[in-house]
Structure 1
Amino acid sequence: MTDINSPEEKARYERGLAVLTEVDGGSAPAVMENLADIAPALAHHIVAFGFGDIYARPGLDPKQRQLITLGILASLGGCEPQLEVHVKTSLNVGLTPSEIVETFIHTAGYAGFPRALNAVGVAKKVFADRGLLPVSSDR
């Protein structure tokens, strides 16, 4: 079992928290707080591994990482709450609503229309909350 209080784990967590804070736009603390009473180790690993190890890697910029994440979550299906967080994060790192919608249109060819429709529904909610509707599209 991993000791989340070891110096190495604390360093991974701090690195991840810095990356998460940079891209997230403020909703991450709520996710971590929701896990604090039942799965604090899971909250730690989301930050340490997901952001301290994966998102902090060189080679892809935050926009590219978010496009990949959107496509994967949409393709998996059943991840709508996490997809909502990542649609928000995608906007925070500079993706446009049109780019996000285009990602979900592209997903339809690989994961099917139901999953693409669910993803667009999540995006529509986020866009409405941020006053970004209607989304203009070339097609």
Structure 2
Amino acid sequence: MKKSVLLFFIILFSLNMNAQNNESQTLNAQQQSIVNIAALTAVGNLSSLKTQLHAGLDGGLTVNEIKEILVQMYAYCGFPRCLNGINTFMSVIDERKAKGIVDVEGKEASPIVDTQSKYETGKQTLQQLTGIEEKGPKMGANAFAPIIDTFLKEHLFADIFSRDVLSYQQRELATISVLSALEGVAPQLQFHLGVGLNIGITKGQLMQLFSIIQAQIGEKQAEVAKNELEKIKK
């Protein structure tokens, strides 16, 4: 009898672990909405974006989470596309209010209480994202134009990534989606795919992300993204 009970719990544990592993290979509804919203904002497809903004709210994203996704877009696809996305979201909110739909506003960003310089904050955040300690002299574009290193660390990885409305995983999903949707940014995409894998986004989830890119943007961009993932040794 005891052996039967033990066997039952072993099987139950195994099924639970398999379920968890399978779940980690898929994007949930909110994550899929992040991918859709970011990619469509990047390419300026506002009619489809409007549909996906409704879907995001219906699927559980808060108003402030979507605002945060759209604001982050300017760092990767520029202010014009970012502002178009925000204006589209405003129209969606107005439509829903007119229909009596009350959407959850969600949390606001917590006050920043860090006492160290924004550059150091951004440097530490970037090291956490990549899992690589920054040592030695600057290299590449950061050495050629040092001010871009300052802007990246102080503004993108300090000002933006310190805002806790979104998690690092959510922010990287949005970033990978933008870079997968845009042409000519394969090196930056490969970097962020590596970051995503380092902070717990799985290859299965990335493959699902690429499927969304194929459906929303096109097969060409999805193939570019898949090729960049294959180059990463993880």
TM-score category, normalised to shorter length: 0.7 to 0.9
Alpha-carbon contact 1:27-1:85 (below 8 Å) kept: no
Structure 2 counterpart SS, 1:50: helix
Is structure 2 residue 154 aligned with structure 1 residue 53?
no
Residue identity in the other structure for 2:204: S
Equivalent residue in structure 2 for 1:94, among 186, 194, 200: 200
Residue 140 of structure 2 aligns to a residue whose secondary structure is: helix
1:33 is paired with a residue whose SS is coil
Structure 1 residue 27 displacement after superposition: 7.9
Gaps of 5+ in 2: 1-115
Q: Of the two structures, which has the highest relative contact order with CA contacts closer than 8 Å and spacing of 6 or more?
A: 2
Instruction: Map 1:54-133; keep pairs closer than 5 Å.
Output: 54-126=160-232, 129-130=233-234
Q: Normalising by structure 2, what TM-score?
A: 0.47
- Secondary structure in structure 2 of the residue aligned to 1:101: helix
Identity fraction in percent: 27
Indicate yes or no: 2:125 matched with 1:19.
yes
Secondary structure (helix, strand or coil) at the match of 1:37 reads: helix
Note the C-alpha offset of 1:11. 1.5
Question: 3-state SS of the aligned residue for 2:129?
Answer: helix
Structure 2 SS opposite 1:60: coil
Report the AA paired with residue 11 of structure 1. Answer: S
Quote the Cα distance in structure 2 between the aligned partners of 1:91 and 1:74.
15
Report the Cα offset of residue 122 of structure 1. 0.3
| 2:51 alignment partner in structure 1 | none
For residues 213 and 206 of structure 2, the distance between their equivalents in structure 1, rounded to whole angstroms, comes to 11
Superposed structure 1 runs of 4+ greater than 4 Å apart: 27-30
Q: Residue by residue, what CA displacement relative to the aligned partner does 1:4-44 show, whole Å, maximum 9, x if unpaired?
A: xxxxxx811111111111111228669x5212432000111
Contact 1:105 1:116 in 2 (8 A): yes
Task: Provide the rounded CA distance (Å) in 1 between the counterparts of 2:199 and 2:192.
Answer: 10
Q: In the TM superposition, what is the alpha-carbon distance from 1:55 to its structure 2 partner?
A: 1.3
